[in-house]
Amino acid sequence: MATIVQVAGKVTVKVGMGDSAAEELGFTRNGVQYTEEGFYGDVPGDEYGGDEGPPIDVQYFGEVHRIRCELTKYDATVAKRVAAKVAGAAAGTPADPGTLYFAQAKYMRVVCSGTNPAGVNHVRNYPYCIPRMPVELNAGTKFSTLVIEFEAHKKPGQSTMYTETV
């Protein structure tokens, strides 16, 4: 494959509550940022000084992906459902302390898709997400910007974090 400039194109963000179908949240400003964060643990060994020395190996424990969206054109009704931070909750009404996102099916699906000018599709469909970071929204005489960051986990029984189909 040739080395070329990559352009995802205009990215649409859709959100679904639990396993329900995703509905359009809106369009990003300057795209979506994905951060793929791995979790690791050092394995100490006497070969390199035990606990005080460098590890003899490193274990991989899994990963989460962070999906940061800054939107300037969005559906306010869908945004309020996402801002409630728990699938099924209402805006301004936080979930009860102790709510379990996964065991109680309170997670969200996040689908980011775009088609570049050459007709190449960019899709990341994350089925198991929670809006982990603070939701930011400015209000005033200037246009409003909604900033939301989701944390994606691997859904039990699936081998992938995301698919590349809607």
If residue 14 lies in a helix (H) or strand (E), which one and from where to where?
strand 11-17
Q: What is the pLDDT of residue 59?
A: 98
Q: What is the pLDDT of residue 38?
A: 97
Closest CA to 102 of 128, 81, 126, 65: 128
Detail the DSSP E strand segments found in 18-120.
23-43, 57-74, 108-115
Q: What is the pLDDT of residue 91?
A: 77
If residue 123 lies in a helix (H) or strand (E), which one and from where to where?
strand 121-130
Q: What is the pLDDT of residue 44?
A: 97
* Global pTM value: 0.89
Q: What is the pLDDT of residue 1?
A: 65
Q: What is the pLDDT of residue 41?
A: 97
Q: What is the pLDDT of residue 153?
A: 97
> Where in the chain are the domains?
11-152
Q: What is the pLDDT of residue 109?
A: 95
Q: What is the pLDDT of residue 116?
A: 79
Please report, in tens digits, the pLDDT of each residue of the chain (166 residues total).
Answer: 688 888 888 899 999 988 888 999 999 999 999 999 999 999 999 999 999 999 999 999 999 999 999 999 999 999 988 988 887 777 778 788 899 999 998 999 999 998 877 777 889 999 999 998 888 999 999 999 999 999 999 999 999 999 998 8
**11-17/108-115 β-pairing:** antiparallel
